[in-house]
Structure 1
Amino acid sequence: MNIRFLLLLLCLTPKLNAQTLYSKAFGNPQHPALLFLHGGPGYNAVSFELSTAPILAEQGYYVIVYDRRGEGRSIDPNAEFSLAEAAADIQGVLEKYAVSKVHLLGHSFGGILALKFARTHPEKVHSVVLISAPLDLQESFQHIIVQCKTIYEAKEDLVNLKYVGLLQEMDPHSMLFASYCFLHALRNGFYTTPNPTPDAQQQYTALMEQPDFKRWGNAMTEQAPLGFHRNDAYTQMKLYDLIRQVLQKKVPVFGFYGEDDRLYPKTQRQTLEALLPQGHFKSWERCGHAVFIDQQAQFIAALRQLPQG
């Protein structure tokens, strides 16, 4: 091959390096902007991207999704996995898409990041929407243990009862403790609703058939939770004071939750509802952790409450 042609070809080829964040936008840039912050740590935005982002774009929003640095499709072996790094990347994504002010949709762990960013940069945030976000992780872990123990006792599952007993003897502030709690929660179906709507069933069936979901739908980056635990001790966080601080910054906060999400005790949702302005909290039946799929129509309708700025 001619060397000059090869050099030209290399110049024209997109450079995909370890520092590149995966991101994608849907809709008209002139419409109100929504930025989805996915859960984890260690997950990615693929389920929201495939199921909900295009529909929201059709409804008149400019929807941006991205995978955090070092997670999912944003491969970066040098990622430090910290809230400071993640906040800097949010600013980078907003600059990339020329968005000066945005609604932050924080799903699960993404809700922590959304609140942290809104407190530091209130001028860039129209509102924060907490979607199945944790409010007191240590309390949630104890809630998971109690539920699992009840299930295992009813089944006379002596093996898992032994594991739960060992779990209760561990340091509750350790990452290993948190990981085992989430593992037992997953094993017992705490993330999902036992009675999905026909529409949700169709959504999940359609997702399972998409190549990107097959590749990334269950992909987890193990280094991410270890990094955020080391740098920010995220498993010890309580969000109530942070929510109050964001509200004091005049940034509206909303909460969208599923009644069948058994990761968190109901008292946490009740506390959040009392903390937010009237009408800013929604909790739907036949709905688990993935609110934007389990009750997609109601989720989209609730977003209509967001201030238009």
Structure 2
Amino acid sequence: MNRIILLIFSLVTFALHAQTSTIYSKSYGKNTNPAIIFIHGGPSGNATLFEGTTAQKLADKGFYLIAYDRRGEGRSIDSAATFTYEEARKDLNEIYKLYNIKKANLIAHSFGGLVGTIFTEQNPEKVNALVLAGALFSQQETYDHILSTTKAIYKEKNDSLMLSKIIDIESLDKNSAAYRKQCFELAGQNNYFKMPYPTTEANNLRNGYEQSDFFKNNIRNSQAPILFYKNEIRNNIDTKPILKKLKNQIKLFAIYGKQDNIFSEKQLNDLQKIVTKKNFKIIENCSHYLFVDQQEIFIETIEKWLK
């Protein structure tokens, strides 16, 4: 009887362990090289595009690159995920433990910029450098910019239907998932995330990714943004004050596409003042996915900064 109880206990323990071990991650390169952890966008994102195009190439430059999908997003399937910054912080700490990393460089893309900044604020001793790569840092300014610039586009086109839609969006709760979603949908409809003149190299990278296993595993949880806005009280934040403090504690860099049209010129000027001009780079003919749009320049810049 005691053996049966022990067996049941062991099976339950194993099952619980299996349920909590949901974080997808993969390393590239030698673990003796400087570590880089890539933090993807979202909520409802994953690291597949970065992995399928750029991870190994950065590792070949002498880095130990780790990519992972946040809990409940992408390949880290977890129906119990809470989608909070605290959960993201804990899981990132687990990545450090799993790969036996004491200190790493963080490349934070899009929404990952908020995750990376908050993690670094709470764990500065674990971060050598934070690289904001097309990263969000002042959410409301981004939404305001999207709405004002798309409004100008539709006024020029005399598109009364879309102008009416913008008025409806502006009336929504600015701390809601619906507001965020519809702002970014407007941006997408107006090609704010696309490079203006795709190069042969960028097209080849995207085509290669779309034919790869990474693209086949481009899993996105459509409920992630809704749950994030339900569970996280800090759902519309400005991290500039945090970044101003961090620049005295860690190395702080920022790299953005010139045609990443979700950001205003004022936002990027404000960010440059924080990170300093020498640690700030704008790439021409480049939008939101700068590690694909202009991969060579992106990798050269990261290598220069982090080595």
**2-side partners of 1:16 and 1:288: how far apart?**
39
Q: Could you say if the C-alpha distance between residues 127 and 214 of structure 1 is closer, same or farther in structure 2, counting changes exceeding 3 Å?
A: same
Match of 1:291 in 2: 290
State the number of aligned residues: 295
* Root-mean-square deviation (Å): 2.1
Amino acid at match of 2:232: D
Match of 2:250 in 1: 251
Aligned pairs (5 A) from 1:64-143: 64-143=66-145
2:134 counterpart of 1:148: no
Alpha-carbon contact 1:18-1:75 (below 8 Å) kept: no
1:33 to 22, 32, 35: 35
2:256 counterpart of 1:229: no
**Deviations along 1:148-194, whole A, 9 cap, x unmatched?**
12222233333222211211222222221111111111111111111
Q: Which moved more, 1:125-134 or 1:170-179?
A: 170-179
Secondary structure of the residue aligned to 1:65 is: strand
Amino acid at match of 1:270: N
**2-side partners of 1:277 and 1:265: how far apart?**
18
**1-side partners of 2:161 and 2:220: how far apart?**
26
2:168 counterpart of 1:166: yes
Alpha-carbon contact 1:129-1:254 (below 8 Å) kept: yes
**Deviations along 1:192-222, whole A, 9 cap, x unmatched?**
1111222112111211211331441xx4323
Q: TM-score if structure 2 supplies the norm length?
A: 0.90
Q: Could you say if the C-alpha distance between residues 232 and 245 of structure 1 is closer, same or farther in structure 2, counting changes exceeding 3 Å?
A: farther
**1-side partners of 2:74 and 2:173: how far apart?**
29
Match of 1:268 in 2: 267
**1-side partners of 2:74 and 2:45: how far apart?**
6
**1-side partners of 2:79 and 2:235: how far apart?**
23
Secondary structure of the residue aligned to 1:70 is: coil
How many Å apart are 1:16 and its aligned residue?
A: 5.8
Alpha-carbon contact 2:55-2:65 (below 8 Å) kept: yes
How many Å apart are 1:120 and its aligned residue?
A: 1.3
**2-side partners of 1:211 and 1:151: how far apart?**
38
How many Å apart are 1:32 and its aligned residue?
A: 0.6
Amino acid at match of 2:286: C
Alpha-carbon contact 1:258-1:288 (below 8 Å) kept: yes
Secondary structure of the residue aligned to 1:255 is: strand
Secondary structure of the residue aligned to 1:44 is: coil
Q: Could you say if the C-alpha distance between residues 141 and 285 of structure 1 is closer, same or farther in structure 2, counting changes exceeding 3 Å?
A: same
Unaligned runs of 5+ in 2: 1-10
Secondary structure of the residue aligned to 2:304 is: coil
2:62 to 33, 36, 60: 60
**2-side partners of 1:242 and 1:232: how far apart?**
18
Amino acid at match of 2:302: L
How many Å apart are 1:82 and its aligned residue?
A: 0.8
**Deviations along 1:33-53, whole A, 9 cap, x unmatched?**
100000011100000011000
Alpha-carbon contact 1:36-1:65 (below 8 Å) kept: yes
**2-side partners of 1:160 and 1:139: how far apart?**
21
**Deviations along 1:81-119, whole A, 9 cap, x unmatched?**
111111111110111111111000100111111111111
Unaligned runs of 5+ in 1: 1-9
Match of 2:206 in 1: 204
Secondary structure of the residue aligned to 2:130 is: strand
Alpha-carbon contact 2:58-2:299 (below 8 Å) kept: yes
Match of 1:303 in 2: 302
**2-side partners of 1:172 and 1:115: how far apart?**
22
**2-side partners of 1:234 and 1:282: how far apart?**
28
